[in-house]
Amino acid sequence: MNEQTRFRFDLIQEVLSVDDETRTISFSLKPDPRRYERRERDGVTYLYDKFDDLWFAEKEFMASLVRQLEGQPVFFQPPRILSAADYVGSRRPEIASRLEGRATAAPPLGDKSEEFLRTLEVDKLGFVILCVDIVRSTVLATTLDPRTYASTIAIVLYELSEVVPKFHGHVLKYTGDGLIAYFPEPSFITKNDLALDCALTLLRLVRDGLNPVLLEHGLPQIQIRLGLDSGEAFIETIGSPETKQHMDIIGDIVSLAAKIQARAAPGEVYMGDMTERNLHNVWRTACRPVEPGPDWTYRDRSGHLYKVHRFIQGPS
């Protein structure tokens, strides 16, 4: 489906030594036994990938790993939300304040995504795309008076978008009843974990943050559905300076993430095969393949139908 197929190797890290004077750390990396199993075949030791049913000659596996890691910088981007429950709890007073018109003055308009994309020195990059849709927003629009509907949707989108940068992502655009966010390289692998973690936090924000406050104020509760896909895309300037011009991400992963999201039921996270294969094995154990429907015609590079997966565990 995407121009370049990527998948991750899951390793266990063991710190061997720490030198405070030179500020260096020595550590060893070993194949994660939760994913890989040593097996003998024809006198050769292989690492069998239990997730993807693949065989790697152990010596070649380790030699390839050394070649890939040698001289490469290490990127570590932990999420800025340590507890989703604590974060959601902290947002409820602010949500109530906004619904009651008591919020502090809005900060000046800004576009962090535009700023980030303009700093890039390349026109092609690896991304994880997250599409969020507010389910049945049209019904919500016909239930509420226009002013209440507009202010409610604005508050919901504000809260959803506030979560994205906490997972090192950016909001690319708003779609009226949802948003599209992206999680860029340099660390393509961990971006998949961060994007899914963000998606699950958004579900919890709706369930335990937004909906209880909406209910307290006599407003209908909402639901969201989410779609993820990963791969490479181009960064282009679109539009005319005479009207509106901005930096955008162009590629099949953007449209696919939206189509995958449309297949999800309310309260669910669906993802493309590229995202699922690049998740940590702990996340992958909670993913299951789904049948996207007879009208699903999108294919991967080998010509097979592009697989779609569902995350089966909701936020804890």
pLDDT single digits (tens) 121-164:
899 999 999 999 999 888 888 889 999 999 999 999 999 999 99
Q: What gap in Å lies between CA 65 and CA 316, rounded to an integer?
A: 35
Same domain (yes/no): 198, 119:
yes
In a domain, 190, yes or no: yes
Same domain (yes/no): 96, 41:
no
Same domain (yes/no): 141, 197:
yes
Which residues, including other chains, have CB under 8 Å from residue 305's CB and lie 6 or more apart? Answer: 296, 297, 298, 299
pLDDT confidence of 2, banded at 50, 70, 90?
very low
Q: What gap in Å lies between CA 201 and CA 162, rounded to an integer?
A: 11
Mean pLDDT, residues 53-60: 85
CB 184 within 8 A of CB 249: no
% of the chain residues with pLDDT over 70: 91
In a domain, 20, yes or no: yes
Mean pLDDT, residues 2-31: 73
In a domain, 316, yes or no: no
pLDDT confidence of 106, banded at 50, 70, 90?
low
The answer to whether residue 3 scores a pLDDT higher than 50 is no
In a domain, 277, yes or no: yes
pLDDT confidence of 196, banded at 50, 70, 90?
very high
| Beta-strand relationship, 170-174 and 178-184 | antiparallel
The number of helix segments (H) and strand segments (E) in the chain equals 10, 13
Same domain (yes/no): 54, 171:
no
Domain that holds residue 286: 84-311
Q: Which residues pair with 225 in a beta bridge?
A: 133
| 3 state DSSP class of 94 | helix
CB 129 within 8 A of CB 229: yes
Predicted confidence at residue 103, as pLDDT, reads 72
The answer to whether residue 217 scores a pLDDT higher than 80 is yes
Q: What gap in Å lies between CA 256 and CA 247, rounded to an integer?
A: 20
Report H helices in the chain. Answer: 58-69, 84-99, 112-119, 137-143, 146-163, 188-204, 211-216, 252-263, 273-277, 281-284
Same domain (yes/no): 42, 173:
no
Domain count for the chain = 2
CB 10 within 8 A of CB 34: yes
Separation of first and last alpha carbons in the chain: 33
Predicted confidence at residue 104, as pLDDT, reads 67
Mean pLDDT, residues 263-292: 95
* pTM confidence score: 0.85
The answer to whether residue 6 scores a pLDDT higher than 80 is no
Domain with residue 307: its CATH number is 3.30.70.1230
Q: Which residues pair with 15 in a beta bridge?
A: 27
DSSP for 202-247, written as a single string: HHHIIIIIIHHHHHHTT-----EEEEEEEEEEEEEEEEETTTEEEE
Same domain (yes/no): 272, 232:
yes
Mean pLDDT, residues 201-219: 97
Lowest-confidence segment of 21-25, 38-42, 197-201, 299-303 by average pLDDT: 21-25
More confident residue, 90 or 58: 90
% of the chain residues with pLDDT over 90: 63
In a domain, 222, yes or no: yes
Q: Which residues pair with 30 in a beta bridge?
A: 12
The answer to whether residue 247 scores a pLDDT higher than 70 is yes
